Amino acid sequence: MEKRGSEPSEIAALETEFTRLFRGLGRAKSPPPPYESVYLDSGLLFGPSTQRVADTYRRFRVKGQDNEPPDHITLEMDFMRFLCDREVAAWETGNAQVLLEEEEAYLREHLVSWVPFFCENVRRFDAAGFYAGLADLTEGWISCDHHIVRNILELLERCKSNSPLRSEVKQTESHSHAIGIKKPH
């Protein structure tokens, strides 16, 4: 039987690197830990930004984890997933713009404001490159998501007004109908 997956020594090396990179072992050995407050509040864990994140969660009736400050990167990313899930449902009811505005504000005020600095630190400290690659993906995803959300909001605003975009959308719908493309219901 052929052995699949990583060798135990490779897995152990990744586990060791994970601990070194994400548990904040010291300035000379690892980046500051992945908490918004550490990056935005002069290195202070449970700083003012922690409270702002907790207030946002509370507004949406989302409970954090008991053993983790609410501004940890995994919790902030999970909250963004929560907002996106709500957005999907809001498109069905015609209220997506409100959720998109919440997403844009959350991205701008939280993830976009500190995660790029964290990712840069991960790249600087990760000798093997595995977690540096994940940092690239994380930073790119947040940046792309923020860009897309802002663009959708801009399009929605332009569609609300009597701008040329509204006639472009109508022309596209007419064109789609003429060539047999049906709009999804």
Measure CA 114 to chain center.
Answer: 11
Does residue 13 form part of some domain? no
Does residue 7 form part of some domain? no
The better pLDDT of the pair 59, 175 is held by: 59
Domain count within the chain: 1
Domain boundaries, position 120:
22-173
Cα dihedral 162, 167, 172, 174 in deg (nearest 10): 120
Does residue 9 form part of some domain? no
Residue 87 belongs to a domain with what CATH number?
A: 1.10.3480
Question: Do 88 and 119 form a contact (C-beta atoms < 8 A)?
Answer: no
Does residue 33 form part of some domain? yes
At a CB cut-off of 8 Å and minimum separation 6, what does 20 contact?
29, 30, 125
What SS3 class is residue 72?
strand
Q: What is the pLDDT of residues 114-168, one digit of tens each?
A: 999 999 999 999 988 999 999 999 999 999 999 999 999 999 999 888 656 545 5
Q: What is the pLDDT of residues 24-36, one digit of tens each?
A: 777 888 899 999 9
Does residue 49 form part of some domain? yes
Residue 64 confidence (pLDDT) = 81
Average pLDDT, whole number, for the chain?
86
How many residues make up the chain in this entry?
Answer: 185
Does residue 108 form part of some domain? yes
Does residue 160 form part of some domain? yes
Q: Has this prediction a pTM greater than 0.85?
A: no
pLDDT at 104 over 60: yes
